[in-house]
Amino acid sequence: MTTIDLSDLDFWAKPRSEWDKTFAALRAADEPVFCPRDHGPGFYAITRYDQIAEASRNPQAFSSEPIAVGLDDPPPELSGLLGSMMSMDDPRHARLRRIVARAFTPRMIARATDDVARLATEIVDALVERGPCDFVAEVAMPMPLEIVCRMMGVPESARPAVVEATNALIAGIGDPDYQDPRGKPRAAVLVDSARFMHELMGELARDRRANPAVDIVTALVHGEVDGEALSDADLGKFFVLLVVAGNETTRNALSHALTLFTDHPEQRDLLLSDLDERMPAAIEEVVRYATPVNWMRRTATRDVDLLGHRFRAGDRLIMYYVSGNRDETVFVDPYRFTITRNPNPHLGFGSRGPHFCLGAHLARREIALMLRELYTRVPDIHATAEPVRQRTSFVNGVLELPCAF
C-alpha cells in the first residue's frame, strides 16, 4: 500500500471518513507500517486494537519515556516542564500514581461531582439567557477548566491566565506551525505557558504546606509512598497534565457529543426517551466514536516481538487509539454511532494498563451531568454548522461549534 504521512497535518485536516479509510488499510496490512518523516525520526503506526492493548500492557518493553505525547523528543528547555506521569515508567510511575490516586479520594470526587452539577446548572442558565452561541466557548470549555481550578484551589483571579496558558499549550504542542497572535516563537510560548503553570502550582503548594485545607493540593504536598513525595517539579508537571488533559478530553467529548446527536437525531431521541438508563452507555459511545485523544507514543527499550512483528531497541511506535476504536475484530459495525453498544471496550481513555486515564471517572461524571442538564432544559439544542477543528494530529480537537435551540 502507499504509505500516508501520518505526521502531515494536512492529512488530519481531511474529513473523518478519509482517516477511516487510511486506518482500515493499515489495520489490514500484514504488519505495522513504518512511516518515514522528512523532518525527524520515523515511527511505526500501531493501528490494531490487539497491538495497542499488548504494547500498553508491557511498559518494560514499550516505554513511555522520554515522552508519550510527541513525535519528537522535547527540547531541553521543555523536558523539565512537561510529561508528568504520562511520560514515566514504573517503578517511579507507580509510586507517583499512588500518591496522586490517594488525593482523589471518594470524598474529593463527591465534592467535585457536587461542583460539576452546580456548574452545569450555571452554564445552562447563562446559555438560555444568551441564546445561539459558540458551544465550545460557552459550554464545553468552561466546564472542565473551572472544575480543575476549583479542585486545585486556583484563585478566581488567576483562572483567566490558566485558560490562556492551557489554550496555548494545547495549540502549540499539537501544531508545529502554530503562530502565536503576539508573534512570539512557538517554543517560547510553550515554555512560558508551562512555566506559568509551574509557578502557580508552586505558590499553591507553599500555601497548602503552611495552611492545609481539604483539597487536592494539600493531599498532594503531604502525600508520599515508600518514602517518596512529589517534588516541586513533579507537582508542576502534574498540574500541567491535569489542566491540559483534564480539559482536552472532556471539552472535546462534549463538543463531539453535540455534533453526533445533531447528525444522528434518532440516537438523541433514544437518549431522551430514558436519560437515566441510556446516559452511561451513550457517554462510552461518544468517547469511542469521537476518540478525543488520537494517539500516544511508546519507544521500544529492547529488541522485542509484538504479536508477530519484531521491533528493534529505539524504535518509535505511535499507538493510534483513533484506529483501534474502529477495529472490525472488536467492534460490530464500528463506523456506526449507536448509544446502546454493548460491550464497548473502547480506547478513548487509553488502553488498560499502568497508564489508563486516572481521571476517567471524573470525566465521565462531567460529561454525564453536562449532557443531562442540556438535554433536560434545552432538548432541541443542535449544532448549526460543521465544527472548526484544531490543527493537530494528537487530539481530535474542536475549536468552534455554533449552536442554537
d(CA 364, CA 131): 26
Q: Cβ(376)–Cβ(253) under 8 Å? A: no
CA distances from 40 to 72, 239, 356, 376 (A): 7, 29, 28, 50
Neighbours of 323 (CB within 10 A): 27
d(CA 381, CA 130): 13
Place of cell 486506518: 23
Report pLDDT for 3.
65
The answer to whether position 2 is within a domain reads no
The answer to whether position 51 is within a domain reads yes
Q: Domains in the chain: how many in total?
A: 1
Beta bridge partners of 311: 304
Q: Cβ(21)–Cβ(28) under 8 Å? A: no
Residue type, 191: V
User: Of 312, 290, 288, which is closest to residue 302 (Cα–Cα)?
Assistant: 312
d(CA 193, CA 81): 10
We report the CATH number of the domain holding residue 333 as 1.10.630.10
The answer to whether position 405 is within a domain reads no
Q: Cβ(327)–Cβ(48) under 8 Å? A: yes
Report pLDDT for 120.
97
The answer to whether position 369 is within a domain reads yes
d(CA 252, CA 245): 11
Report pLDDT for 295.
96
In this structure, what C-alpha cell is assigned to residue 261? 446527536
Report pLDDT for 294.
96
DSSP per residue, 329-358: TTSSSTTS--TT-SS----BTB-SSTTS-T
For the four alpha carbons of 235, 238, 244 and 248, in that order, the dihedral sign comes to negative
The answer to whether position 192 is within a domain reads yes
Residue type, 47: T
The answer to whether position 1 is within a domain reads no
Q: Give the domain range for residue 205.
A: 9-392
Report pLDDT for 74.
79
Place of cell 434518532: 266
Q: Cβ(390)–Cβ(171) under 8 Å? A: yes
The answer to whether position 284 is within a domain reads yes
Residues 6+ apart with CB under 8 A from 70: 173, 297
Neighbours of 108 (CB within 10 A): 17
Neighbours of 141 (CB within 10 A): 24
Residues 6+ apart with CB under 8 A from 29: 1
In this structure, what C-alpha cell is assigned to residue 249? 478530553
C-alpha angle with apex 201: 392 to 255, nearest 5 degrees?
35
C-alpha 398, offset from chain centre: 12
The answer to whether position 96 is within a domain reads yes
Q: Cβ(147)–Cβ(366) under 8 Å? A: yes
For the four alpha carbons of 329, 334, 366 and 269, in that order, the dihedral sign comes to negative
Report pLDDT for 358.
85
pLDDT in 10s for each residue of the chain, 405 residues = 556 789 999 999 999 999 999 999 999 999 999 999 988 899 999 999 999 999 999 999 999 998 898 888 877 788 788 877 889 999 889 988 888 887 777 777 788 889 999 999 999 999 999 999 999 999 999 999 899 888 888 999 999 899 888 888 877 776 767 777 777 888 888 899 999 999 999 999 999 999 998 788 988 898 887 777 888 888 998 888 888 877 888 999 999 999 999 999 999 999 999 999 999 999 999 999 999 999 999 999 999 999 999 999 999 999 999 999 999 999 999 999 999 999 999 999 999 999 999 889 889 999 999 999 999 999 999 999 999 999 889 999 999 999 999
